[in-house]
Structure 1
Amino acid sequence: VLFMGITFVADGFGIVATDVPTTKTVVAQVASTVFGPDSLGYFSFQGFTALILFLAANTSFNAFPRLAAILAEDGYMPRHFAFRGDRLAFTLGIVLLGAISAGLVALFQGDTTRLIPLYSVGVFVSFTISQAGMVRHWRAERSAGWRRRAAVNALGAVLTGVVSIVVLLGKAPESLLVAIIIPILVGLMLFIHREYGAQARELEVRPEIVVGPPHRRERVVVPVPALTRAVVQAVNFGRSISDDVICVHVTDDAEAGERLRERFERQMPGVPFVIVESPFRSLVRPFVAYLDVTGTKDPEAITLVVLPEYVPRHWWDRILYNQVTNQLKRALLGRPNTVVSTVPYRRES
């Protein structure tokens, strides 16, 4: 009704739309003609128009995050889009939409004349897809009167599809961006759905299977740079999991390593202590090589690498601590039959 009313008034006053950026919009020209160019009514009319546009833009931020959440639940978008934030809103969808909107405004330099074709094509393509989806819905459900309903939706899909093509060709080249983005998004969502499906099939536990106790031996390996309370805590954690616990010390100083072994065996008796010499002062590669060599004795055994990790309290702690731990994590990531566990420790003062 609002659109028809504005069209009727604009036609009566002889107002036409133009693509010149400096020209007033049709709504502004109608308000200027009715109330005067600098009157209170003119600015009030413009203010209400801006408010309507603001609410229209807000609709996208209400609808898209919910749509993204539904697609995520069905496996067509990353699953974290379905999670709500601290304010019970789909935060990730809102942030993504805001970033895309800001990117489009920057790309088209805020020129609404160039942005409107994207909106027009997107709207009619959405109408076409929704109408075609309803046709498929009626054919699958086949309830009473489904043929008539399917015919109405099919007619709507054809009409909106024709309009989509007309707008796409008439507003080129700006509108062609939508024609490029939509197939890419569809392909990306199909890829995500296929990946989630493959993972679900691989991890599925069939109902007829009875899961028995573990049959593979577990061994715990703890890298020991020095005998500290953090290392003691990590070793005790490993001993609570398995009786097969080995402490590994990588060093380029054999004499210092022997002194550490003597102290370790005196203060933590019963825990094997292995020294791995590294003449080039490398830590990660010799440690991984030790795991590879010892792993050949029992390839089916699960190796649990327990790493002490300091809990940072300040931003500079992330630079000063945990560097070796992070390197070992990256090196062991994806290694077969290897599990990495971190034991956090905190400074009391």
Structure 2
Amino acid sequence: MQSSVQAQQENIVLDTVDNADGLEQLVVVCVGLDAPIQRHLEDLQTRSRLYRGLTRAQLLAIVVNEKVLGGWLEFLGMVTFSESSDEALAEKESVQSIQKAAAKVHQEALQTQTVEESHAETHDAGAEGDDNDFLDEFLDKPMPVWDTSGNTMSQPTALLFNPFSSADEVPIAMFSMRWNERNKGTERLFRDVAELLRGRCIRILAVDAQAPDFGAVTLRYLHVLKAKRGVMLAVCTADYGEMTTDPFSTNIQLTYALDHHIEILPLKVEEIYPPQPPSGPDHPVDKHRLGELLIWTAMPPDKFYLDCCLKTKDQIADEIEAALRDRKAEARNIFPRLRGSGLYCLI
């Protein structure tokens, strides 16, 4: 409890988030806590700072930050608000109700303060009165909700984090691809596509072929697709589906998808389609052309596919997102009219 002299003063405490752990104040201003999303451990630190800063406040948290491109708070550039809307009025009433409840708890804490914590009973009464006067003034003052309809700040065009987009709207998906020297350019392209889709809150799985636990991660992702009724995005290079000695090859992934009724969405990335995996008498593993048979089973002539040839990463991400959302609609027995849409092709 502050002394009466301290209670009569308005103080601003400037400190780091780390030093504020475990402490709370009525009003907290969080300054400069945002940072670009890097898909790395630094992201956890940034999110932790934001969370810990915001939760230090009992009544009001204010966030002050420059516009960080690709940051966690960039989505706020999309927010518009008007005090005249019904939702705004309801939100304002809710906030005031919460403020009053918090103030009541604070006042009860002041009233239960023991005489031993202060030098004199009258001294305590004066301090309590000062705090109560502050709370009354705080609650009586109307809380302004700024109308942002005239905000001239340019809205972001592509967000790495967008809480307004629900991940439940589209199924989880996994990229299945030959990660080899022949397909390096295609690999880079689709890793960029994966990042774009994740920025739209679409759950995309893509294995890092250089990771030491490549096999374990692949197996876990396949189990996730099965459990979540996800979609396998088959990046159909010409050698996709080739039988190799790798226990987690695209041939094994495709077989797993067929055995467990996982939906397969082929992505055409070369002129050769369907894929023609190497096989034949001279092949070290597939001498009986089982890879070709697997491709024709998984990708028959009447199966839809997404044509990604000669398209940018943004165009591919747009079409994959649309296809996944159409798949969600189809699950609700609303069959999308895809023929002639430009998204899919028939062979």
TM-score, normalising length: structure 2? 0.27
**Bigger radius of gyration:** 1
The structure whose residues are more often helix, as a share, is 1
TM-score, normalising length: structure 1? 0.27
